[in-house]
Amino acid sequence: MGVEVLGLWLPNPAVRFNRPPFLHLSPPTRASLVTPASLSSPPPTIQIVGGKSTPSWQGSGNDVCGGGGEETDWYDFETDLYHWTKPLRPVQWYPGHIAKTEKELKEQLKLMDVVIEVRDARIPLSTTHPQMDVWLGNRKRILVLNREDMISKADRNAWATYFARQGIKVVFSNGQLGMGTMKLSRFAKSLAASVNVKRREKGLLPRPVRAGIVGYPNVGKSSLINRLLKRRMCPAAPRPGVTRELRWVRFGNDLELLDSPGIIPMRISDQSAAIKLAICDDIGERSYDVTDVAAILVQILTKLPTVGAKALNNRYKMDADDFCGKIFVQKLSVHLFNGDTHQAAFRILSDFRKGKFGWAALERPPR
């Protein structure tokens, strides 16, 4: 591996690591795993123990090229991902309706007894809004990791253990098939039960529990509500930005749900997280270069022990032995799409989203 001093990478495999091994390697202004850092911050001074003799992110020019397909731990993976994204055009997406929705949502939060935050189970850290804790304050919260069918059992167990240690109630769900919805309903009602206890003490009649469902675009909020209601009450589609306004819906006689549009920061300063949002289709396609994102995905897949280069080779009947994402996309474009790199890149992303390489998370809990 190497050491970065004043922005220069120098080979030095024997020095020690002098900062906590967070999951995301970002500039030192990053206060926590879920609070993005500013891209304007100075580059970090990093010391890394052991590893490969040459940084795997080294390449020529702006080529998105990874190192060898050696099995690596998740910290090394995040380190590489951080450096792969540095030369790329920043991914930014903030449709006009989000600013209005954010303002309205803050007002509606005052009426909620419990908040249900929905995240993508493949990237739980990248799909939480950096201001969410501030907005919610001490309000009761349930965390839903949707699309549990898109991650492995080992991934699920790792996240379940991580959040349990933090005392956070977590529900794994599949909004398409309805798995986890009944458990979510029970959790919401039990957490807000004290509301009607206080109302009875004041001589007031009980009222339905009010639960707001919030989260990033396209993480499955509306699909989850439709499954809870067992009918299509909220518009839902497998793309970001379908829900554009707040809407209250009634679930039985004792629960009201607020469906809200996806809320995303005006500026995404953590570009490693932004690339993961693009890979998982949790951000608008116009915000990123499909070829660049597919190239990085190729390099990610070659590093994941549960996927590896073999899955790419078997899927497309061509070698991924050089582990350079851009070269692989170019080869695939010639192999299947008459040189159309955009179509080749889109096929790779689509295949990942459909589980053609097997189901795997792109994040693991921090150590």
DSSP per-residue codes, 157-191:
HHHHHHHHHTT--EEEEBTTTTBTHHHHHHHHHHH
Alpha-helical segments (H) within the chain: 74-85, 96-109, 132-136, 153-165, 181-191, 193-201, 221-229, 271-279, 290-303, 308-316, 325-336, 341-353
Q: Residue 173's beta-bridge partner residues?
A: 146
Distance of alpha carbon 233 from alpha carbon 257, whole angstroms:
11
Fold held by 96-259: Rossmann fold (3.40.50)
Question: What's phi and psi for 308, nearest 5 deg?
Answer: 75, 170
Q: What is the mean pLDDT of residues 315-320?
A: 84
Tell me the pLDDT tens digit for each residue of 161-171. 999 998 888 99
- Please say if the pLDDT value at position 228 is more than 70: yes
Tell me the pLDDT tens digit for each residue of 123-172. 999 999 888 888 888 888 889 999 998 999 999 999 999 999 988 889 99
Question: In the chain, where are the structural domains located?
Answer: 2-89+289-353, 96-259
Distance of alpha carbon 198 from alpha carbon 221, whole angstroms:
30
Distance of alpha carbon 173 from alpha carbon 179, whole angstroms:
5
Distance of alpha carbon 281 from alpha carbon 353, whole angstroms:
8
